[in-house]
A = this chain, B = another copy of it.
Amino acid sequence: MQFAMTQRLLLLLFCVSVVATTAAAADPLPSWNDGPTKEAIVGFVEKVTKNGSPDFVPESQRIATFDNDGTLWAEQPVYFQLFYAIDQVKKKASDHPEWKTEEPFASVLKGDMKGVIDSGKEGLMKILAATHANMTAEEFRSNVSEWLKTARHPKTNRPFNEMIYQPQLELLEYLRANGFKTFIVSGGGVDFMRVFAEETYGIPPDQVVGTSLKAKYEVRDGKPVIIKLPEINLVDDKEGKPVGIHQYIGQRPIFVAGNSDGDYQMLEWATAGKGPRFGIILHHTDGKREWAYDRDSHIGQLNKGLDDAGKKGWTVIDMQKDWKVVFPVDKP
């Protein structure tokens, strides 16, 4: 009884401190400049969460999906997962002397990125098979985890999981504080992203949807394991994004954020649903603090999305104008 009383008292004290914290909470999006973009986001969140509002959306339907590459973290000069694959090829090269002359591995080992890209889809599948498959899910996770600790971005020399966007971290947190469930829906590899998504974005593994390989279960030397197979299960890009959301999340999001034409169908499907919807396109306009690219980019091409954003009612974020800071390291 004494113990129960103490527990109750502790819980009460905790609640009082929560109340105090709530009262002190200031601008939830401090890294966003004031202006129409920030107002549109806050206006949407306020109207769907206001009890009795005609636009009120129950918590169970407050689903928000974010692309990852170019939306939550940077994607230049190439997708970070490609750096991972290249580093793994180099690491494994001593066990594969034949790679010195076999494409696309020869190009990878010579650091000839053009040669890698020229190897096309077939070459990429070979790299994928050599670096992402034919191993247990746990081996893969541990490889990615090790790599993240030591690998550095070629331009900034910072860890890849610091090349994330501070304003988006605040947006994710703001949405969750307002009863949204936040998901990643990315063309990137699901098992790759799951290694860091929880620590980096506060998004748990089961709320990450991405491109995936087929897998099989087996008991190997008495130990049950999942083996990643060198065969594509889902390409979570373009038309694959609404399909991925349907299969993994099972409801249409009301809030979506992307940055390239790979996100077009996700934006189109989500914002065509009934009731209030919010679509964001992050436009990379900041060549100084990040990168400036859109219609002609080899990575994250944004063409149709820019053309149609206006008529579709999507909000285009101008990185240069709308963001006070870009990366967490730039925070004042």
Contacts and interface: CB of A to CB of B under 8 A. Distances in A.
Contacts of A233: 247
Contact of A60 (B63, B198, B208): B198
Of the four ranges (under 10, 10 to 19, 20 to 34, 35 or more), the interface on chain A belongs to: 35 or more
Contacts of A216: 239, 243
Interface in A256-289: 265, 268-269, 272
Given A60-B204, A207-B206, A250-B190, A242 B224 contact: yes
Contacts of A239: 216-218
A212 to B, nearest CB: 6
A232 interface: no
A243 B228 CA distance: 10
Interface stretch (A7-15, A96-104, A117-125): A7-15
A215 B198 contact: no
Given A216-B243, A247-B215, A224 B268 contact: yes
Interface stretch (A17-25, A73-81, A145-153, A163-171): A17-25
A249 interface: yes
A26 interface: no
A31 B192 CA distance: 43
A67 interface: no
A113 interface: no
A244 to B, nearest CB: 9
Number of copies of this protein chain within its complex: 2
A194 interface: yes
Contacts of A134: none
A46 to B, nearest CB: 14
Contacts of A204: 60, 181
Nearest to A214: B243
B265 A246 contact: no
Interface string A212-237: 10011111000110100000010000
Given A190-B250, A233-B247, 8 more contacts: A11-B18, A60-B204, A206-B206, A215-B246, A216-B239, A217-B269, A224-B272, A226-B269
Interface of A: 4, 7-8, 11-12, 15-16, 18-19, 22-23, 60, 63, 137, 181, 183, 190-191, 194, 198, 204-208, 212, 215-219, 223-224, 226, 233, 239-240, 242-243, 246-251, 265, 268-269, 272
Leading 3 A-B pairs by shortest Cβ distance: A15-B15, A205-B250, A217-B242
